Amino acid sequence: MRLTIFGSGYVGLVTGACMAEMGNHVLCYDIDEAKIERLNNGEVPIYEPGLDAYIARNAEAGRLEFTTDVKKAVDHGLFQFVAVGTPPDEDGSADLKHVLSVARSIGEHMDEYRVVVDKSTVPVGTADKVKDEIQAALDARGVSIEFDVVSNPEFLKEGAAISDFMKPDRIIVGTDNPRVTELLKSLYEPFNRNHDRVISMDIRSAELTKYAANAMLATKISFMNELANLAEKFGADIESVRLGIGSDPRIGYHFIYPGAGYGGSCFPKDVQALAKSAADEGYDATLLNAVEAVNLRQKRRIFEKIQSHYGDDLKGKTIALWGLAFKPRTDDMRAASSRVTMEALWEAGAKVKAYDPEAAGEAARIYPDQAGLELCDTAYDAVEGADALVIVTEWQEFRSPNFSLLKEKLSDAVIFDGRNLYEPETVEGRGLQYYAIGRGRS
């Protein structure tokens, strides 16, 4: 089948590459000319494990192409996938300008029937706005061409995006036209061989399902972070509590790790956008607002621990920081906890020597002129000449460090661990002071 993908970011590129892998002919479009040029030169502009091989193989086979020509994009695919960003607006609502601009382009250029498939995370009711935008563009041209709009939210996780897309837990198809459900089912058939994963529903429910999933996951994290803070007050150990509650199958072990708060391009903005949509309907989403508030507080928790160890003035201190990405196996630093920690450290006069296996380039792009930031090539380069170590992202290579070397290098022999990677006795047994999240009285 022929597909066009609008937006060549994390979702667009993974969707395009995986759809091409199944034999479809995919054309990826983006307004970012530099990005498309890099893709046409065989470069992959983001880090996502396995993506480069998928792109190379399918581009080579002629099934995956990249363009900035919007007319060509609209002409190419029966399916027009929308995978552009929906960043938060100033008031927290999802900014739909990219989604609606794609809709307009489709209306301005389509010459025959098109299925517009929305993969971007958008507030309930957006499909109606997309329909109106396309219709208005068609009306302005004085033409009448049939089209359908489908909500097909994406659930991939950065860092495991290829396998999530290839073996999805579910494929949500929201449409009011049964014929379109069948078209989408046949497109997704290769991803569906083991058992039918398509869950079809009305468009609004599909749009809400995506927000519900992210809000639920964010709630689990904020709940555990709240409990971790209480464990510190009560002198309990949240890791024991985690095991104690996770063993209940109604609760389960997934997604109940306390830490330095959630970041990334989805949870923070989606929780906020859902709360804002609720407010627009006159409903005060008390729980969602609390989830967000707990998370904002939690992102400062590591800095608070540094501050209570050292006092307010950190002038002259050099802090090694392991992990810049918002989670392992990605280079994405959107809303990352590392940013909150580093910015607070700079404000207090400290310098940061940071190491991340993939996100150094992104950090250099975000903080181009930050004198307080030195980006290092290895984890142990970062601790060279540092007073303390802070861990913000749980990359696997941080799980089993050489504690004796850390003790030797860190002049204050202290670790602040925002991801609870180690057993306190192990670290303390090597002569280092250890602060983690919820693992002892603070």
Ligand X SMILES: NC(=O)c1ccc[n+]([C@@H]2O[C@H](COP(=O)([O-])OP(=O)(O)OC[C@H]3O[C@@H](n4cnc5c(N)ncnc54)[C@H](O)[C@@H]3O)[C@@H](O)[C@H]2O)c1
Please give the positions annotated as active site: 266
Residue-by-residue DSSP string for 307-326? HHHH-S--TT-EEEEE--SS
Q: In which residue are the tokens 């006159």 written?
A: 282
Element (H, E) at 38: helix 33-40
Closest CA to 24 of 190, 194, 195, 196: 190
Q: Is 326 in the site for ligand X (CB under 6 A)?
A: no
Q: What are the tokens at 161? A: 């995006």
From its phi and psi, is residue 282 left (phi > 0), alpha (psi between -120 and 50) or beta? left
By beta-carbon proximity to ligand X, the closer residue of 86 and 175 is 86
Stretch that binds ligand X, among 84-92, 184-192, 242-250, 274-282 (CB under 6 A): 84-92
By beta-carbon proximity to ligand X, the closer residue of 255 and 310 is 255
> CA–CA separation, 321 vs 247, rounded Å?
33
Stretch that binds ligand X, among 6-14, 302-310, 338-346, 380-388 (CB under 6 A): 6-14
x-marked contacts with ligand X along 15-54 as a string, rule CB under 6 A:
--------------xxxx--x-------------------
Residue 153 beta carbon to ligand X: minimum distance, rounded to whole angstroms: 7
Q: In which residue are the tokens 């709360």 written?
A: 275
> CA–CA separation, 135 vs 139, rounded Å?
6
Q: 88 in helix, strand or coil?
A: strand
Residue 383 beta carbon to ligand X: minimum distance, rounded to whole angstroms: 31
Residue 286 beta carbon to ligand X: minimum distance, rounded to whole angstroms: 24
Evaluated on CA atoms 411, 417, 420, 421, the torsion sign reads negative
Would you say 193 and 166 are in contact if contact means Cβ atoms under 8 Å apart? no
> CA–CA separation, 61 vs 17, rounded Å?
12
Using CB under 6 A, which of 26, 27, 64, 84 touches ligand X?
A: 84
Q: Is 102 in the site for ligand X (CB under 6 A)?
A: yes
Which residue's beta carbon is nearest to the bound ligand X?
9
x-marked contacts with ligand X along 244-273 as a string, rule CB under 6 A:
---------------------xx-------
Q: 147 in helix, strand or coil?
A: strand
Please enumerate in sequence order all residues whose Cβ is within 8 A of that of 296, keeping only pairs 6 or more positions apart, or say none. 261
Using CB under 6 A, which of 121, 126, 200, 337 touches ligand X?
A: 121
Beta-strand ranges (E) seen in 239-362 are 318-322, 351-355
Q: Is 83 in the site for ligand X (CB under 6 A)?
A: yes
By beta-carbon proximity to ligand X, the closer residue of 85 and 323 is 85
Stretch that binds ligand X, among 110-118, 151-159, 307-315, 418-426 (CB under 6 A): 151-159
Using CB under 6 A, which of 4, 6, 26, 358 touches ligand X?
A: 6
Can you give 232-257 as a three-state secondary structure string? Answer: HHHCCCHHHHHHHHHCCCCCCCCCCC
Would you say 171 and 209 are in contact if contact means Cβ atoms under 8 Å apart? no
By beta-carbon proximity to ligand X, the closer residue of 34 and 53 is 34
Residue 130 beta carbon to ligand X: minimum distance, rounded to whole angstroms: 13
Stretch that binds ligand X, among 58-66, 94-102, 245-253, 321-329 (CB under 6 A): 94-102
Using CB under 6 A, which of 48, 133, 148, 158 touches ligand X?
A: 158
Q: Is 126 in the site for ligand X (CB under 6 A)?
A: no
Using CB under 6 A, which of 7, 123, 168, 357 touches ligand X?
A: 7
- Residue 172, strand partner residues: 199
Would you say 123 and 86 are in contact if contact means Cβ atoms under 8 Å apart? no
Residue 5 beta carbon to ligand X: minimum distance, rounded to whole angstroms: 9
Q: What are the tokens at 387? A: 């007073």
Stretch that binds ligand X, among 4-12, 174-182, 217-225, 397-405 (CB under 6 A): 4-12
By beta-carbon proximity to ligand X, the closer residue of 145 and 160 is 160
- Residues found near ligand X in the complex (CB under 6 A): 6-12, 29-32, 35, 83-86, 98, 101-102, 120-121, 154, 156, 158, 265-266
